[in-house]
Chains A and B, each alone.
Chain A
Amino acid sequence: MQVNRPSLAIEPLPLRPWRVAVPRRARNVAARGVQVALGVVLLIVYIVPFAWMILGSLRLETEIFQFTYPLSWHTFVPVVWSVKNFLDILGLSPEGRSFGLDFGRALGFTALVSAGVVVSSLIFNTMGAYFFARLEFPRKDLVLLFVIATLLIPFEAVMVPLYIVVRTLHLQDTYWALVLPWYASPFVIFALIQFFREIPRELDEAATMDGASHLGILRHVIVPNALPGLITTALLEFQFIWNLFYWPLIAVGRKDLQTIQVAIAQQTTQTQVYWGRIFAGSVLASVPVIILFLLLQRYYIKGVVMSWLKG
């Protein structure tokens, strides 16, 4: 980055540490105090909704409303701990079965869709990024422009026309409707180009000397060296597709092809809303993903920075 205002940095002033040091230390302690206090407030603001959801999923329906007023310990913490809500939504209790609830199937299907998208996008985006990072092609800049321009197409605003296209291809109401539109992504391609450029070209050239084809270079040079980058983009892609709602809502009407997000949203549109079940479904849909991402946070952050800032 260009340094635009160096004036502050250059001018040397006589150092007078005795005039600065003492108040600064006091100020630092005060600043640290304020920082910690703000941090605690932030922790509360961010943890309470999740705690309310998780603890709410572990109590009985009647209990949730019983302790709303006045605000007390039991507004959050169950008196009787129970996994009934989970049994209900997974269709493992008679009551859940009578409602036709089967979140287990929705979870499994969403995992299947996510696996399809993550695997196919790893393959095709890697190939695309390899093309841009390494291969020779006349007017490659035009191909790149073709990819960049897709970023200008507002994603949610063109869902209706996308549905018209998918219907014309007779893919609506199928597994493929949920996978095919997402097997390539401009963001992932940009991130991977950055990762691939960090690999020294000499490695490719050495492999070429040994008679490796492009696929050979990809397998033996690029993929092993860009593994952290590939993990990162796989994470981004997984989060994107697992959490996708609008597209699965419109592309698939069959109940046996419902994703978990659509299943949860549907719980709120029924005449009688069961809060405990909504909590339990939300926990199943989000807590595993949150834990996964907290563990792999560094990769995820790198991915966001690579695909957004550098791209």
Chain B
Amino acid sequence: MSSAVVAPAYPSPRGWWTRRRRSYLIAFLFVAPAVVNFLLFRYVPILAAIRSSLWQYSLLGGYGKFIGLQAYGRLLQDPVFWKSLTVTVQYVLLKVPAQIVLSLALAILLQREDRFSAAVRSAIFAPVVTSIVVISVIWSLMYHVQLGLFNSILTSAGLPRVVFLSNARVALVAIVIMMVWKEIGFSLIVLMAGLKGIPDTFHEAARIDGASSWQQFRSITLPLLRRVLMFVVVTQTIFSFQVFVPVYTMTKGGPLDSTKVIVYYIYQNGFLFQDMGYASALSMITLIVLLGVSTAQMRWLRSEVEY
């Protein structure tokens, strides 16, 4: 920094290689490892996906002849692809609103700084740091038709047994319930930070004005929390769109493809059917869809913030 300030006063006689340029080079060396990482492991995979979807590609044989957009044409006519896209959208539309509404309710319920609230918050927080593999393995045992805990509770209460994971109409909802249970703590942290950012004086003033709790929520909490709320909606939508592990461990996409989300279908094509080219085409389409979703949501976020 100091050299950068000094440099213009003493221009180097060698011309191009000035002290300023030298200090820039040193500065860049600091960020270079991160740049190389992002280039190699985040950007190059996209190029690799484009290449392996346009050329014939197999893991053992490498790249073959140019096939152009054939993989993409096949994709558009593949009913399983459309099915998986529908299932993914269903999953997002079920999970994100449920998670946001519940975590907002919990954030308000648990915002008091007492020991009991802190204990409940810690309990809700535990599954957030637990691996999704452990959670979904334990829940698939809880969902078990004969031996699971849920059916033990249901039958003991005199209710009929529910087939959770092998019924095409129930399986996706069962996964959604588990994922909301697991991830609610995460949005809870963010929303509670947002609630803390609202000065107490607003609520006090409203109370003095005689506003009910619901009125306070509608006209103070919700508008002031809007930016944080929309941020949570955006990030949760993008995350939920990429759900994979619970499907892998609990249902393998079944029954009748009712839980075959897009990332699981990509995995299946790449690693079970050994069709890396088609898997890459699917990855590209998912990438494009998600870029569309996130730019639309970002625009929405920006326009809403400046009202």
* Interface stretch of the complex, out of A6-14, A78-86, A88-96, A100-108: A6-14
Contact present for B116 and A128 (CB under 8 Å) = no
CB-defined A-B contacts under 8 Å, sample of 28:
A4-B307, A8-B206, A39-B109, A46-B126, A49-B149, A52-B138, A52-B142, A65-B147, A124-B34, A128-B31, A128-B34, A130-B30, A153-B42, A157-B263, A158-B45, A158-B283, A159-B263, A165-B40, A243-B129, A245-B131, A245-B132, A246-B244, A261-B131, A286-B131, A289-B131, A293-B125, A297-B122, A305-B190
CB-CB < 8 A to B283: which residues of A? Answer: 157-158, 160-161
- Distance A37 CA – B131 CA, assembled complex (angstroms): 29
A10, A52, A164, A214: the one within 8 Å of B276 (CB): A164
B137 within 8 A of A: yes
Tell me the nearest residue of chain A to B154, going by C-beta: A71
Contact present for B27 and A136 (CB under 8 Å) = yes
- Distance A159 CA – B135 CA, assembled complex (angstroms): 22
CB-CB < 8 A to A155: which residues of B? Answer: 242
Contact present for B155 and A70 (CB under 8 Å) = yes
Contact present for B37 and A294 (CB under 8 Å) = no
Residue in A127, A161, A186 with the greatest tally of chain B CB atoms within 10 Å = A161
Of residues 169 through 202 on chain A, the ones whose CB sits less than 8 Å from some CB of chain B are 180-181, 183-184, 186, 189
CB-CB < 8 A to B148: which residues of A? Answer: 68
Contact present for B220 and A290 (CB under 8 Å) = no
Mark interface residues in B216-252 (1 if CB within 8 Å of A CB, else 0): 0001100110011001000100100111110011000
CB within 8 Å: A-B pair count? 290
- Distance A77 CA – B238 CA, assembled complex (angstroms): 40
CB-CB < 8 A to B245: which residues of A? Answer: 245-246
Contact present for B219 and A8 (CB under 8 Å) = yes
B201 within 8 A of A: yes
- A131-B30, A246-B245 are contacts. A164–B45 as well, Cβ < 8 Å? yes
Contact present for B241 and A154 (CB under 8 Å) = yes
Interface of A is mostly: helix
A20 within 8 A of B: yes
Contact present for B38 and A146 (CB under 8 Å) = yes
- A68-B147, A264-B134 are contacts. A164–B27 as well, Cβ < 8 Å? no
Shortest Cβ gap from B194 to chain A (Å) = 8
- A161-B52, A265-B249 are contacts. A49–B205 as well, Cβ < 8 Å? no
Q: Which residues in B have some Cβ–Cβ distance to A below 8 Å?
A: 1-2, 4, 23-24, 26-28, 30-31, 33-35, 37-38, 40-46, 48-49, 52, 57, 59, 106, 109-110, 112, 116-117, 119-120, 122-127, 129-135, 137-142, 146-149, 152-153, 155-156, 181, 186, 189-190, 193-194, 197-198, 201-202, 205-206, 208-211, 219-220, 223-224, 227-228, 231, 235, 238, 241-245, 248-249, 262-263, 266-267, 270-271, 276, 279-280, 283, 286-287, 290-291, 294, 307
CB-CB < 8 A to B46: which residues of A? Answer: 153, 158, 161
- Distance A64 CA – B249 CA, assembled complex (angstroms): 21
Contact present for B210 and A154 (CB under 8 Å) = no
CB-CB < 8 A to B146: which residues of A? Answer: 68
Contact present for A71 and B156 (CB under 8 Å) = yes
A221 within 8 A of B: no
Contact present for A128 and B30 (CB under 8 Å) = yes
Contact-residue bracket for chain A: 35 or more
CB-CB < 8 A to A18: which residues of B? Answer: none
- Distance A278 CA – B41 CA, assembled complex (angstroms): 33
Tell me the nearest residue of chain B to A180, going by C-beta: B41
CB-CB < 8 A to A10: which residues of B? Answer: 205
CB-CB < 8 A to B211: which residues of A? Answer: 8
- Distance A286 CA – B242 CA, assembled complex (angstroms): 23
Mark interface residues in A120-162 (1 if CB within 8 Å of B CB, else 0): 0000110110111011111000010011001011111111111
